[in-house]
Amino acid sequence: MTSANTVSQRSGVEVVIKNVTKIYETRDGNELTALEPVNIEIAAGEFVAIVGPSGCGKSTLLGMVAGILPISSGNINIDGQEVRRPHPKVGVVFQTDLLLYWRTVVDNILLPIEIKGRQRSAHLSRVDDLLSQVGLAGFGKKFPSELSGGMRQRVAICRALVQEPGLLLMDEPFGALDALTREQMIVDLQTMWQRLNNTVIFITHSIEEAVFLADRVLVMSPRPGRIDLDLRIDLDRPRTWKNRAEPKFFDFMVQIRQIFETRGVLTKD
């Protein structure tokens, strides 16, 4: 069955994070614990959001999953394979788009293909497909400087998705965008994810963004980082802005907020 085949190819991979810590050595030789032992099991195709205040180590955790930061202890398995270097099935979207200004939109999206030494021409139709999915059909030959901030971040998402990653890591991807653009990006991301059905780890500061997008929200406490709450968001999909008016939606937000209140990140008023 070809259709089943494509689905399995595009669906997500499992991620197991076991007793992972991060300890930095400071300049004066002291040790600084950025992350206390973290244990997370993420099922294939699950959308997990991690919410936490600045400096709680959530980006550090993501860097370790991406294979670009060394793990101090414990281990991370992606698709049953221990992470020692960047895993080929992983795509990363950062807070800023990090597009190369001397490359066109298409050439930026094809960068991971080039780096992996694959045929560019074999992926061109996929690039077109992705661009039309994010509403940028016909923008392939433009340069990043000709695009708005929101469009550039859409291109960055296409770049992460071009290699059909089983796991998509997003580090506050909409943090640098204006509120209105962010609103639309959240909805579009949900649509794309529903089509691709890959695993996503999404880091954010926004409680609302996390509840709207995720199957599961992990709440992290301030340094040293630790998972304080693992909340399953069982709202139907596709979710729309109207879902925000639901008591259940509000309830989830309150639960997350209360964690931050007890940790002193937010006050009670």
Using the minimum distance from each CB to other proteins, give the nearer residue, 52 or 63: 63
The Cα–Cα gap between 49 and 51 comes to: 6
The pair of structure tokens assigned to 68 is 């670009």
Least distance CB 145 / other proteins (angstroms): 5
Q: Write down how long the chain is.
A: 269
**Binds other proteins by CB under 8 A, chosen from 2, 29, 101, 269:** 101
Using the minimum distance from each CB to other proteins, give the nearer residue, 146 or 230: 146
**Binds other proteins by CB under 8 A, chosen from 15, 35, 66, 259:** 66
Contact 136, 154 (CB under 8 A): yes
The pair of structure tokens assigned to 137 is 């059909």
Q: What is the DSSP letter of 75?
A: E
**Binds other proteins by CB under 8 A, chosen from 37, 53, 74, 88:** 88
Contact 72, 23 (CB under 8 A): yes
The reply on whether position 92 binds other proteins by CB under 8 A is: yes
The reply on whether position 145 binds other proteins by CB under 8 A is: yes
The reply on whether position 5 binds other proteins by CB under 8 A is: no
Phi, psi of 173 (to 5 degrees): -65, -25
The Cα–Cα gap between 211 and 9 comes to: 28
The reply on whether position 85 binds other proteins by CB under 8 A is: yes
Angle formed by the axes of helices 179-196 and 124-133, nearest 10°? 130
Question: Binders of other proteins: how many residues, by CB under 8 A?
Answer: 25
**Could you say which residues in the range 148-167 bind other proteins, by CB under 8 A?**
163
Least distance CB 176 / other proteins (angstroms): 12
3-state secondary structure labels for all residues of 179-225 = HHHHHHHHHHHHHHHHHHCCEEEEEECCHHHHHHHCCEEEEECCCCE
**Per-residue mark of binding to other proteins, 235-254 (x: CB under 8 A):** --------------------
Tokens 């709202």, residue located: 235
Using the minimum distance from each CB to other proteins, give the nearer residue, 68 or 254: 68
| 47-51 sheet: strands from edge to edge | 90-93, 167-171, 199-204, 47-51, 216-220, 227-232
Using the minimum distance from each CB to other proteins, give the nearer residue, 108 or 221: 108
**Could you say which residues in the range 111-140 bind other proteins, by CB under 8 A?**
111-112, 114-116
Given the rule CB under 8 A, which of 5-13, 86-94, 190-198, 210-218 is the region that contacts other proteins? 86-94
**Binds other proteins by CB under 8 A, chosen from 25, 41, 146, 164:** 146
Least distance CB 169 / other proteins (angstroms): 8
Q: What is the DSSP letter of 117?
A: T
**Which residues of the chain form contacts with other proteins (CB under 8 A)?**
63, 66-68, 85-86, 88, 90, 92, 94, 96, 98, 100-102, 111-112, 114-116, 142-143, 145-146, 163
